[in-house]
Structure 1
């Protein structure tokens, strides 16, 4: 790999034609802060600006892929969701996984440990997921007293269908990596120590021709990622409901 860069909480490397973005805040289980989200957006912009890059892998350090939005950020936003700083901070978190979904190269999530809430949105935003057999995948919004956000219902249900999406997003069902692969939530479940190497293997394959990879993934998303409501529209539907639920929780 080339020498890495990043703030410390987000790392960026390039391995041949594959970019690797690493969530590196294990002390808080890689929960997203607004600053971390903004840095992710900047790195996704960098991937797009470098035509020699043909694929992107998103991975994480520690026992969790991503525990969702940072608790302090969510609590602060819940006190007054309309306050400019709170609104902008939550927008940055939304924008980070939405921006991942728009990156111009094929994307792979390498998922070990747990993924909850916004962490689920992060892995759902990618084109393909390789997960550890013992990974723990949980929507978790309602358990926290929050309405889902970020277009969660759309990006989950377009992968696994209405029934499974209802079970996970409404009824709080948790699935492991093996079940995720059965549902179509992941391409493959492998031993935890093989997750990243398998993700990099697949990414390197498509990245061998970066120009073709960019054209192909653009058309792939146009042709297969549609739904009754677009992801962008769903994000706007969910935002006021989530902000209401956060304010309600803060008032308790």
Structure 2
């Protein structure tokens, strides 16, 4: 990997976007590396959580050349697949079978905001900038942008950010429910790693819990009685593991 760093400590995989010269804008190659890193974490049974970060600048969206190539001929095979790869960078992070946390400093723009919202939890800098940025460059949002905002913070936030192009800092993001906690810039990554480490102590349980969490909190939700039955099997598994002979 050349633009993604991957490290594992105490059951937590830290995936770092590392292209500071373009503020971690997602190229096709970087997207492939991000997908590979996510799958590497998922395939390692000793990993119980993933933290995604970008250092000083989380992610400035997709590189403009990918968008421009798609715009010239949206159904040309390579252009279509390249944009699909960028989408897969955050849909993969959002679907791997381990709990995920985004540690957001600097700006999370467009596809970069999608990447942050795809995780299960966000820890942000108070000075972070969360903004869609799509309409500002004259294009329609992509990657399920409205759905991602709506499922995290509701319709009003989806309208304000995705439709009207508003921008929020870290403290406002927490107030809206877009993030769990805001910290000073230099504490964000450590705080994200600390919260990830709690669930990562028991990787097998973490993977069972995140599967139930995502099913029960998916858009539309589940009736309570269905959730009781959904949780029964993994809870029985955990009780047998803890107390069985």
Task: Give the deviation of 1:16 after TM superposition.
Answer: 1.3
What is the CA–CA distance in structure 2 between the aligned matches of 1:214 and 1:172, rounded to whole Å?
Answer: 35
Match of 1:189 in 2: 182
Give the gaps of 5 or more residues in structure 1.
1-5, 229-252
SS of residue in 2 equivalent to 1:66: coil
SS of residue in 2 equivalent to 1:65: coil
What is the CA–CA distance in structure 1 between the aligned matches of 2:48 and 2:78, rounded to whole Å?
Answer: 36
Q: CA contact under 8 A between 1:154 and 1:227: conserved in structure 2?
A: no
1:44 pairs with 2:63: no
Q: CA contact under 8 A between 1:38 and 1:96: conserved in structure 2?
A: yes
Q: CA contact under 8 A between 1:158 and 1:227: conserved in structure 2?
A: no
Work out which of the two has the higher radius of gyration on C-alpha atoms and give 1 or 2: 2
Deviations along 1:96-126, one digit per CA (max 9) or x if unpaired, are: 1001111111100000001100000000000
Task: Give the deviation of 1:72 after TM superposition.
Answer: 1.6
1:98 pairs with 2:116: no
* 1:16-165 matches, cutoff 5 A: 16-62=10-56, 64-165=57-158
What is the CA–CA distance in structure 2 between the aligned matches of 1:118 and 1:221, rounded to whole Å?
Answer: 21
Task: Give the deviation of 1:140 after TM superposition.
Answer: 1.1
Task: Give the deviation of 1:209 after TM superposition.
Answer: 0.3
SS of residue in 2 equivalent to 1:20: strand
SS of residue in 1 equivalent to 2:96: coil
Task: Give the deviation of 1:61 after TM superposition.
Answer: 2.6
What is the CA–CA distance in structure 1 between the aligned matches of 2:100 and 2:93, rounded to whole Å?
Answer: 8
Deviations along 1:188-235, one digit per CA (max 9) or x if unpaired, are: 01000000000000001100000000000000000012249xxxxxxx
Instruction: Say if 1:32 and 1:227 are closer, same or farther in 2 by CA, change over 3 A.
Output: farther
Give the gaps of 5 or more residues in structure 2.
222-245
Deviations along 1:124-163, one digit per CA (max 9) or x if unpaired, are: 0000000000101101111111111111111111111111
Match of 2:228 in 1: none
Deviations along 1:14-49, one digit per CA (max 9) or x if unpaired, are: 011000100000101100011111111111111111
What is the CA–CA distance in structure 1 between the aligned matches of 2:29 and 2:212, rounded to whole Å?
Answer: 32
Task: Give the deviation of 1:176 after TM superposition.
Answer: 0.3
Which range moves more in the overlay, 75-84 or 175-184? 75-84
Match of 1:173 in 2: 166
Match of 1:10 in 2: 4
Task: Give the deviation of 1:74 after TM superposition.
Answer: 1.2
What is the CA–CA distance in structure 2 between the aligned matches of 1:205 and 1:31, rounded to whole Å?
Answer: 30
Q: CA contact under 8 A between 1:114 and 1:136: conserved in structure 2?
A: yes
Higher RCO structure (Cα 8 Å, ≥6 apart): 1
